[in-house]
Every structure is written in structure tokens, then in C-alpha cells.
Amino acid sequence: MIKISLPDGSQREFPGPLTVAEVAASIGAGLAKAALGGRVGRGADAKLVDTSHLIQADTALAIVTEKDADGLDLIRHSTAHLLAYAVKDLFPEAQVTIGPVIDNGFYYDFSYKRPFTPEDLVAIEARMSALAKKDEKVERRVLPRDEAVAYFKSLGEHYKAEIIGSIPAGEDVSLYREGAFEDLCRGPHVPSTGKLKHFKLMKVAGAYWRGDHRNEMLQRIYGTAWASKDDLQAYLHMLEEAEKRDHRKLGRELDLFHLDEHSPGTVFWHPKGWAVWQVVEQYMRQVYRDNGYLEVKGPQILDKSLWEKTGHWQKYRENMFTTESEKRDYALKPMNCPGHILIYKQGIKSYRDLPLRFGEFGQCHRNEPTGGLHGIMRVRGFTQDDGHIFCTEDMILDECVAYTALLQKVYTDFGFTNILYKVATRPEQRIGADESWDKAEHALMESLRRSGCEFVISPGDGAFYGPKIEYTLKDALGREWQCGTMQVDFFMAERLGAEYVAESGERKTPVMLHRAIVGSLERFIGILIEQHAGALPAWLAPVQVVVTAITDSQADYVAEVVKTLKKQGVRVEADLRNEKITYKIREHSMQKVPFILVVGDKEKASGAVAVRARGNQDLGVMSLAEFQSKLASDITAKA
């Protein structure tokens, strides 16, 4: 007898070996029809398998359907094979290489004599749909390595033969067949092509074979696949919205910044973009002041010997920009931490000085690969709202509680109310005593509990020097952006010889808490632009108010209004161009200006303004004082 334990805690007995599909059928016809695969075993040892997998001993089993995350991966993996099947059907001379699952979809790389066109993608997607409707069974077989190499060579699939040839001799490999197409794959797969209904091909890009630029350039076809039509449509709609919100596009249209090949991976801020930067920086500077941080400023270039002591020279050297002067090697700092320790070490510190909180808007440089650069979201030169807290182990909890509350307030002010929390705990390879790790992990988790935050634990994902909290924002489109962090570090202060005099009189090493709220200001501003689709709230907008006249006779009054608002600290511009008022209103609306003030003879005579708010809202005529009050209220409330 074979005992199968199911997720609900029940057990079923069977007289002999049977497949996952047969177990599903014994539970119900509906489950048998919905089954895409199975997860056999318990916990970390559980294995995802095909529905045809034969169970020969007692085990735990979960039937995987489209409602499960594993089910979606099975759909996407199988759809990648369906793509390859369709390409081979339409273009027999094409060679297939690899086709993995990626976030929200899949891709497959092909070698073909000419570039695939947009028309080709349409034809391939149509053929995929036709093949899926045939509902062909997906079957697995196993061959010895050498036999598999010979088989794919006979088909002219030299890339597949090369992949299999890199597998150790004597091993077996698995192949999956659907209809006339057979592919090398570890699996598992959905039981038949009819399970693949909701997919779309997205684009073609170039990709070097095995990621090596010395090899042939292949053609990578990207696609997305989902469990339902609604899920697919929702994803495509999100992509459409994301394209409208793309910070690179809006950066050009709103004249905020540009990127230039004369300095790849760095940002050229235009006046309007720099105005946004200054608002964010000054806001965070006030956060420093209000929460006991002392602002410091470290140098950009530091000697190689310092980076050797911290370990960065050995472990991070290829990502650092270096230079040489007078036979000494230097590096542009990729992070601010060592500089803050050097500042801390100036003068003897007592336990009474702790916690000591340093903050810096520190410009850093990291030699990111060109292919990884993305607008202002991923750059080589960036500025962090970097903070380091030097404290004792007993202070970690209180500092983390205060920090989480502060971070939540900041994110709310910027328009983010959905925050995800993750605690990354001790890895196998680490430094420091377990007692210290216990304290640090407890402090991080307890700080989130006290803050009323639900969190997930990511076992073993902490740094070797300490655990951390990661704070991830969810934006208006549901996308996640990991921005804030709180890291406990038992390591760097000790390596650089930082100490304090304890109450007992002995010298001790402080714990160092690394924390950032917005992280890279460049990236955070990019996130803000996309979150608000360029329509930044009044307190953040580069131009808060435009004042425009109907005719030239109101020019003097426009100048008076502008002068009054400037005295209030408002970022305001006058528009006295000889254009129709409707044209000027439309143009400033396209620039997403929060308020447009229109003045004619009546407004000039009564000291009033006609107020138009963003979104084509006509707020009517009000006195200038009334408008000033409203604007001040919106700015103060971060509305």
C-alpha cells in the first residue's frame, strides 16, 4: 500500500504505484481537469513534478493548479516551449537554444539567418494559438547524454547538442515532446498544450550565446503568459500605463533631466528637475534635523588602504572607479559608511554620546555594467540619504522602532501608503557571536511588531555582518520598489578601529546601524515621477503656479501677483506670451502644473485670480490672499 498525505492533513491509501494525475482523479473530476503538476515531498525537499510522475512510495503530495504560483511557472515554462514549437513549425531552419521563465513571462533564444520582424511575431503568436488548440499531449522521455547529443545533432540542433555535451558523461537527460516538436528540458510541464490559452509575444531583442560577446548574436523573443484572460489583460493594461508613466519619457516631456553618452550612467539635471531634487533633499535634511541626526560630509576619493581594511577592495573592486596620484591608488567611494566611521573616530567617544546619528547626502559611484543601466533608476553616479547610527546592542530596538515610524511618515508624505516589510536573518557564513545575532534579529522583528507592521522572514538572506530590514514600496500600478533599509553591522566599526568608553571604563566597539529611507535620490525621484505619472503634488512640483494674462493690459498685475507669490516661497512663473489664453492653459496643463492663475481686467480691478487646478478643474475666482492660503495649506498637508 502507498499512503499519500494531502495538504489538508488527510491521507489516502492506494494499492500500488500511481501517477499524480491518478491521485488527482481519485479526489475529484474537477481537480483532475485542473491539475497542471504536483509537488511531491515536504518542506524544502518538496519537488515540482509532471502529472505523469509515478509515485512509488509513501509521500506528501500537493496538486498544483493555475491558482498556485507553481502553476503559473508551469504555464510560462510550457508556453516558452510552445513558442519554440511554433518557430520551428514556421521557420524550420531556425535553431533553438534556451527558454527560461522570467518575471511575468518567459523568453526563448533562437539562431536564424535573418532578424525576426514584427510581422513574424504576429505569425508566431497565431501559430502558437493554433498549436495550443490542438491540445497535444506533452510527453517526457529520458536518454543517455551521448545518445541525446547524437539525436540533436541529427536534427541539426547544434546549440542543444552543445548544451548537452557540457553535462558530465554518463548522466541521463530528459526530453519533452509535444506533437512534432521535441526539446531538451528538465521539466516539469503542463500535461497538454490545451492548458496554454492566455499569452502574448512582446518583443525581440539581441542576446549573445551563453552571454559572451565573442559568440553569435541570437534573437531573444520575449512573451508573457497568465492563468486567465483577465490576468493577461490586467498585465497588458499595467504595461500600457507603465509606458505612459516611464520616467525617461516624462523626463524629456517635462524638461526635468537628460542622459548623455558623454557620461553614461549619470544624470544631467535641468532647472525643473533640479528644483524637484532640491525639494526632496531639503525635506530629508529637515527629517535629519528633527530626528537627532548630525549632517556630515565626507570626501569623494579615499585611499586604497581604507577599502582594503573594509574588504571592499577584495570583494567589490570591479565595481569601483579608481584613480592614481603620486604613486597612491584611490577609489571613488561606492558607499558612505567608511567615511562616517573616520568622522566618528575623531575624538574619544563615551557611552553617554551614544546613540550618535550621522546623516549625509553622499554622492557615490559604482561601475555598473552598461547593459544594467536604466534611466535614472539604475545609474553609476548617485546620491544617497545615507545615515549611520553608532549605538550599543541594547539600543538597537529603540533605534529601529523610531526609524520605522520615521520612514512610514516620510513615505506617506511622498504619496506611498503601501509598504512591505522583510527581515533578512543570519546566513550560514557570518561573523559575530550568536548572542549578538539573537539580539539584533529580535530587535528588528520586535521593532516591526511594535510599529504594527506585518512582515515576512527571509531566512539566511542577511549580510555576513548582520541582519537587516528591507522596506519595499508598492506604487500606483502595484509594482514593488525596494528603497529603505535598516542593517545591523557588527563588523565595519571594529575593522576600522571605532570605539567608545563604556560605563565600566573599558573600550568597546559600537554597533553600526546602516539606514536609508529614500536610498538613491536619483532612483527615488524616478519612482516619484512614475508614481504620480509626472503630475507631482504641489509641494513637489518644479513649477507650482503659472500666472497668465488674457491681454497685455494685465501684464503689470501678473508681475505683481508673481512677486507676491515668490515672497511666499512659491515656485511661480509668468506667461505673458502673445498667444490665445486657451492655448496657454492647454500647454501648461500638458506640463502638469498644479495651478494656473488667469487674470483679466475684472481680476486686476478686484485684486483676484481665476484659479484652474490640474485635471481641468475650474476653482473659480478668488482673492489672491484666498489662493495663497489654499496653496499654503496644500503644501503643508503634502496634498
Asked if 74 and 37 touch (Cβ cutoff 8 Å), the reply is yes
The C-alpha angle with vertex 482 and arms to 477 and 483, in degrees rounded to 5, equals 110
Question: Catalytic: which of 195, 200, 333, 468?
Answer: 468
Q: Left if phi > 0, otherwise alpha if psi is -120 to 50, otherwise beta: which for 263?
A: beta
Q: Which residue, 448, 386, 394, is CA-closest to 423?
A: 448
**Residue type for 63, please?**
I
- Please give the Cα distance from 306 to 339 (Å, whole number): 9
Give the sheet arrangement for strand 608-613, strand by strand: 572-575, 545-549, 595-599, 608-613, 617-623
3-state secondary structure of 167: coil
- Please give the Cα distance from 121 to 35 (Å, whole number): 30
| pLDDT bracket for residue 215 (50, 70, 90) | confident
Instruction: Answer whether residue 45 shows pLDDT above 90.
Output: no
Instruction: Answer whether residue 203 shows pLDDT above 90.
Output: yes
Helices 158-165 & 145-154 angle (0-180, nearest 10): 170
Residue 169: the pLDDT is: 83
- Please give the Cα distance from 639 to 631 (Å, whole number): 10
Residue 557: the pLDDT is: 95
- HEC string of 32-54 equals HHHCCEEEECCHHHCEEECCCCE
Which range is least confidently modeled, 40-49, 250-259, 532-541?
A: 40-49
| pLDDT bracket for residue 370 (50, 70, 90) | confident
The reply to whether 95 belongs to the active site is no
Asked if 81 and 110 touch (Cβ cutoff 8 Å), the reply is no
Asked if 202 and 223 touch (Cβ cutoff 8 Å), the reply is yes
Residue % of the chain over a pLDDT of 70: 100
Question: Catalytic: which of 81, 245, 247, 366?
Answer: 366
| pLDDT bracket for residue 631 (50, 70, 90) | very high
Question: Catalytic: which of 388, 523, 592, 604?
Answer: 388
pLDDT digits (tens, 9 = 90+) for 260-279: 999 999 999 999 999 999 99
Which range is least confidently modeled, 156-165, 209-218, 372-381, 538-547?
A: 209-218
Q: Which residue, 440, 429, 435, is CA-closest to 468?
A: 440
- Please give the Cα distance from 587 to 606 (Å, whole number): 27
| pLDDT bracket for residue 609 (50, 70, 90) | very high
The reply to whether 586 belongs to the active site is no
The reply to whether 366 belongs to the active site is yes
Question: Catalytic: which of 50, 386, 489, 575?
Answer: 386
Q: Count Cβ atoms within 10 A of the Cβ of residue 372 and give its class: 0-12 exposed, 13-18 middle, 19 or more buried.
A: exposed
The reply to whether 514 belongs to the active site is yes
Instruction: Answer whether residue 436 shows pLDDT above 90.
Output: no
Residue 333: the pLDDT is: 94
Residue 490: the pLDDT is: 87
**Residue type for 474, please?**
K
- Please give the Cα distance from 158 to 525 (Å, whole number): 47
Instruction: Answer whether residue 639 shows pLDDT above 90.
Output: no
**Residue type for 170, please?**
G
- Please give the Cα distance from 132 to 126 (Å, whole number): 10
Residue 448 C-alpha cell reads as 516591526
Whether the full predicted model's pTM is greater than 0.75, yes or no, is: yes
Instruction: Answer whether residue 314 shows pLDDT above 90.
Output: no
Question: Catalytic: which of 384, 487, 544, 591?
Answer: 384
Asked if 199 and 223 touch (Cβ cutoff 8 Å), the reply is yes
Question: Catalytic: which of 514, 515, 523, 592?
Answer: 514
Residues 6+ apart with CB under 8 A from 490: 431, 432, 436, 440, 465, 466, 511
Question: Catalytic: which of 185, 337, 391, 400?
Answer: 337
Residue 195: the pLDDT is: 96
Residue % of the chain over a pLDDT of 90: 85
Mean pLDDT of the chain: 94
Instruction: Answer whether residue 432 shows pLDDT above 90.
Output: no
The reply to whether 388 belongs to the active site is yes
Give the sheet arrangement for strand 301-303, strand by strand: 301-303, 328-332, 322-325
Place of cell 535629519: 288
Over residues 203-223, mean pLDDT: 89
Residues 6+ apart with CB under 8 A from 244: 533
Phi, psi angles (nearest 5°) of residue 218: -95, 170
Distance of CA 624 to the CA centre of its chain: 44
